[in-house]
């Protein structure tokens, strides 16, 4: 009988709930995941435009970039950010789409020249649109980085770096000479505006 009593007394000494590092870590990760999913669901905003507006934006973008396809999620994020920066972009992009549908343009340069000729305000809209697609930036907001169109030429072989790969103090050396472009610009010259932080 003493043996049976020893077993029961050992069971009573052990806690009902075991606390271990593994259990605390698993519980913490579960709680963090549940919280982040809930916050993400709360932060999801409805789109700022209709499906037709996005399609018009995509058509104008494809023509201006001379591309057959654009990424729809990136395009939607760019268009929403453009509209949040300046509401007039909605009507100006609609004007660009109307111009695009009235005449068949052979190149992006021809379309851009015609757009600027029809309305001088469209030039800045084209700049903002191209800046958004190629650099992934609208105003001071970074919409996309790794999938920005400026990296499209090498996206099958090289990932864009997010850090400096040169030797220490490489920025103090004279940079390599870059040849002057020989192609004619599609739009008239703009006033240079330095980006500020």
Alpha carbon distance 85, 5 (integer Å): 76
What is the structure's pLDDT at 12?
56
Number of residues written out for the chain: 197
Mean pLDDT of 44-49: 71
For residue 180, give both structure tokens. Answer: 């002057």
What is the structure's pLDDT at 29?
82
Residue 90's pLDDT band, with cuts at 50, 70 and 90, is very high
Q: Is the per-residue pLDDT at 10 higher than 60?
A: no
Mean pLDDT of 33-58: 75
pLDDT digits (tens, 9 = 90+) for 134-172: 999 998 888 988 888 888 888 778 777 666 666 667 777
Task: Pick the more confident residue, 28 or 75.
Answer: 75
Mean pLDDT of 101-127: 94
Region for residue 66 given its phi and psi (left: phi exceeds 0; alpha: psi -120 to 50; beta: otherwise): left
């Amino acid at each position: 009988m003493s043996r049976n009593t020893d077993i029961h007394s050992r069971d009573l000494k052990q806690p009902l709930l075991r606390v271990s590092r593994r259990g605390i870590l698993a519980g913490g990760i579960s709680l963090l995941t549940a919280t982040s999913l809930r916050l993400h669901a709360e932060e999801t905003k409805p789109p700022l435009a209709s499906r037709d507006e996005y399609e018009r934006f995509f058509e104008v973008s494809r023509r201006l970039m001379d591309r057959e396809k654009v990424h729809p999620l990136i395009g939607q994020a760019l268009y929403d950010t453009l509209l949040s920066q300046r509401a007039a972009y909605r009507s100006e992009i609609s004007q660009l789409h109307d111009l695009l549908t009235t005449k068949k343009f052979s190149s992006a340069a021809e379309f851009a020249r015609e757009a600027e000729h029809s309305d001088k305000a469209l030039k800045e809209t084209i700049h903002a649109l191209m800046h958004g697609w190629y650099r992934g930036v609208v105003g001071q907001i970074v919409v996309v980085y790794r999938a920005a169109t400026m990296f499209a030429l090498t996206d099958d072989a090289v990932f864009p770096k997010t850090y400096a790969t040169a030797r220490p103090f490489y920025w103090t050396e004279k940079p390599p000479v870059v040849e002057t472009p020989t192609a004619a610009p599609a739009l008239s010259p703009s006033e240079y505006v330095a980006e500020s932080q």
